[in-house]
Amino acid sequence: MTSNLLTIGMAVKGHEPELFFTLQALHLYQDLTDVEILVVDNGGNPNIEEWMGSWRRGKYVLYTDIHGTSQPRNEVFKQASGRFVVCIDPHVMLATDAVKKTVEWLKKNDTDDLFQGPLLYDSCDCVSTHWENVWRADMWGIWSDAIETWKLPPEPFEIYMQGLGLFGAKKETWLEFNPMFRGFGGEEGYIHEKYRRAGRTTLCLPWLQWFHYFGGGSGTMVVDRIRNYLIGFNELGLNDAPIYKMFGVKVVDAVKEKL
């Protein structure tokens, strides 16, 4: 039996300053009653291990078996003690009372759906509630048009997909990212479609608003994203024509030959 209702977990590799401020913001500004804080370290950073050892609610797990974002995120769900898990990037901060309101909602809703929240812009008065089902800039999905925060409905609503800087699900029914995924990319859209194929949905919790630091560049390889798209589309039986249209036949075939 788990001791916490919710685990807030982060899969990290580097990003030491960003992680520090994300962790401190959680401790200073959020109600963490019934909440575990978990860091899965994909790089092996002694500073991070030391930080987590100093915090009462903190749990540190070293995971360097497979590098990337997908498998460390899967490991967050495996290592969490909470009944539900919210996985956030190590450069995400949450709006006031976001954790408290989510815990209150989860106590009343034993959901098997994927749940997310609106991206809060730096101005603090506008959000994007989801990603549109559009291919652009080497990715599946683009941010929806911004709307004022006061226009958000009070209750959760269904969305097609959303950026995965923050996402949550029940630990025991998490559908997980394909174990063959490597590197960065190809997760958005894929995991949402996987939940739809299982007869579930993705919900936007309007109060679960999150800031995301986009500066600095990701330094990621497009080939990883293409590879993950191909693996994910094959798993779900999706038509891979959009991948070819986005990246070109020669590029995609070259990646496919190495699978």
The answer to whether residue 62 is domain-embedded is yes
The answer to whether residue 255 is domain-embedded is no
The answer to whether residue 190 is domain-embedded is yes
User: Residue 90: what residue type?
Assistant: P
> What secondary structure, in 3-state letters, does 30-64 show?
CCCCCEEEEEEECCCCHHHHHHHHHCCCEEEEECC
Q: Which two tokens stand for residue 197?
A: 């194929």
| pLDDT, position 100 | 98
The answer to whether residue 236 is domain-embedded is no
Distances from the Cα of 183 to the Cαs of 41, 230, 232, in angstroms?
15, 14, 14
The answer to whether residue 151 is domain-embedded is yes
The answer to whether residue 250 is domain-embedded is no
pLDDT tens for the chain, 259 residues long, are 457 999 999 999 977 888 989 999 999 999 999 999 999 999 988 888 888 887 777 899 999 999 999 999 999 999 999 999 999 999 999 999 999 999 999 999 999 999 999 999 999 999 999 999 999 999 999 999 999 999 999 999 999 999 999 999 999 999 999 999 999 999 999 999 999 999 999 999 999 999 998 875 555 689 999 999 999 999 999 999 999 999 999 999 999 999 8
| pLDDT, position 61 | 95
| pLDDT, position 120 | 97
| pLDDT, position 219 | 52
| pLDDT, position 51 | 82
The answer to whether residue 230 is domain-embedded is no
| pLDDT, position 53 | 83
Total structural domains in the chain? Answer: 1
| Domain CATH for 61 | 3.90.550.10
Domain that holds residue 202: 4-219
| pLDDT, position 55 | 74
The answer to whether residue 247 is domain-embedded is no
pTM over 0.85: yes
**7 bridge partner residues:** 36, 85
